[in-house]
Amino acid sequence: MSRIAIVDYGMGNIHSVRKALEAQGGDIFVSNDPALIAQADKVVLPGVGAFGDAMEELERQNLVSVLIEHILAGKVFLGICLGMHLLFDSSEESLGVKGLGILKGQVKKFDPRHNLKVPHMGWNQIKLRKPECPLFKTLPQHPAVYFCHSFYPEVRDREIIAASTEYGTDFASIIWRGNVFAMQFHPEKSQGVGLKIVENFVKML
């Protein structure tokens, strides 16, 4: 069974994410130790909070290089919510702060001119654009999941968008590029659909 590391850098909903992964049979450990994380088969980067604060903590705890090396080595990576944003080049939330730069694009704030409540909070549908994505095994075409965010990634390469969601704009709610997976919503709060996505992640080779 794959050994899965949840990165604890002080910015994530660690307890709920761990419970969801363990409920699906995952061999889980939580750590901020770069040496231990480097030994994991899969890495999960959750996140709640601000882009700039998160990057500051990753850098302070010497976690940036181990995350990038894990991804470049072809090992499976999952970013959740803020953990998805951090994969990109930058964010309007924290101007001048560089992200991990794994994916090309900038994180944008929802446009208030659309007269939508921000943050985007609660249940919304995702539209599966790449049904062959390993996370989607046995999912319906338009499942509902739980969101809580004010920012979303504006993806430069639209080919990596595995699922999208409509909220004033059609934004990327799941990213898939090779061994890299990321989602804007919280699977650990998305009941049966979320747990199925987590199960598919845990069972992924």
Which residues are known to be catalytic?
81, 186, 188
Helix axes of 51-60 and 64-72: crossing angle, nearest 10 degrees: 90
- The SS3 assignment for 150 reads coil
Kindly report whether the peptide bond that precedes residue 119 is cis, defined as omega within 30 degrees of 0. yes
Query: If you ran DSSP here, which 8-state letter would residue 110 be given?
Result: P
Q: Distance between CA 167 and CA 117 in Å, rounded?
A: 10
CA distances from 137 to 140, 190, 199, 200 (A): 9, 16, 10, 7
Chain center to CA of 131 = 18
